[in-house]
A and B are shown apart, each in its own frame.
Chain A
Amino acid sequence: QELLVESGGGVVQPGGSLRLSCAASGFNFGGYDMQWVRQAPGKGPEWVAFIGSEQYYADSVRGRFTISRDKSRKMLYLQMNSLRSDDTAIYYCVKGLRVATMTYFDSWGQGTLVTVSS
């Protein structure tokens, strides 16, 4: 059974930093692309970052967020700096499913809430 468990969310002031972690189990973590997807209160999901052989970022977070992974520990991370109020959201760790030319968002964690507020 594939399992993704996020941690590290909380309340942070504007301009602050936070590091999210995601523990993966039940699948060959090193063999899959991984993503972070967020969802602001009452809004639809928004892709944030991707890691495979390279890393890619949404325009809204590029230069402020960094995605990384530790394959030996089966951990995915998201370092978030210079946080803004519009970064407030539930952040999901997501396993990728590569089909032909597209990677889909396959298994999802339960999410961790990040609130940016003074």
Chain B
Amino acid sequence: AIQMTQSPSSLSASVGDRVTITCRASQGIRNDLGWYQQKPGKAPRLLIYGASTLHTGVPSRFSGSGSGTDFTLTISSLQPEDFATYYCLQDSNYVWTFGQGTKVEI
């Protein structure tokens, strides 16, 4: 199965900061990658699919890039509501794997 390595596992940031989270696949996955945001006590929320396409209703300060094995989620200007845990997700032959998560803290 394809392994997803996400980094960092946590980071401290301030409102207005630019934040970058990376996800590396153990083998090439084209652009078949999604990014999720999860707040405590809530279900994950789809932010980005196809590595770079913003899902409906997601603010434009979120962006995604990458293809093959290396992917990036960027928050251009961190807002108070963005403090959460972020996960990447890939699918290979009907086996879905999440990254370990990145907790974005103040």
Q: What is A's interface to B at a CB cutoff of 8 Å? A: 35, 44-47, 50, 56, 58, 92, 97, 99-106, 108-111
Chain B contact residues: helix, strand, loop or mixed: strand
B32–A101 touching, CB < 8 Å: yes
Complex contacts, A47 vs chain B, CB 8 Å: 95-98
8 Å CB contact of A50 from B32, B94, B101: B94
Complex: how many Å from CA A110 to CA B41? Answer: 9
B residues neighboring A (CB under 8 Å): 30, 32, 34, 36, 38, 43-46, 49-50, 53, 55, 85, 87, 89-91, 94-101
A97 to B46, Cβ gap below 8 A?
yes
Bound CA span A109–B43, Å: 7
B105 to chain A, nearest CB (A): 16
CA distance A101 to B33 in the complex (A): 10
Q: Which residue of the partner chain A has the closest CB to B94?
A: A56
25 A-B contact pairs sorted by A residue (CB < 8 Å): A35-B96, A44-B85, A44-B87, A44-B98, A45-B38, A46-B98, A47-B95, A47-B97, A50-B96, A56-B95, A99-B49, A100-B32, A102-B32, A102-B34, A102-B49, A102-B90, A102-B91, A104-B34, A104-B49, A104-B89, A105-B34, A105-B36, A105-B96, A106-B46, A109-B43
Determine the chain B residues whose CB is within 8 A of the CB of A56 once the complex forms. 94-95
- CB contact under 8 A between A101 and B30, given known A56-B95, A92-B43, A109-B43: yes
- A46 / chain B contacts, CB cutoff of 8 Å: 98
B residues within 8 A CB of A106?
Answer: 46, 55
| Cβ-defined contact, A99 with B50, below 8 A | yes
Select the residue from B43, B85, B87, B95 with max chain A CB neighbours within 10 A: B43
Closest 7 CB pairs of A and B: A108-B43, A47-B96, A102-B32, A56-B94, A104-B49, A44-B101, A104-B34
Query: A111–B87 Cα gap in the complex (Å)?
Result: 18
In the complex, the answer to whether A45 meets B32 with C-beta atoms within 8 Å is no
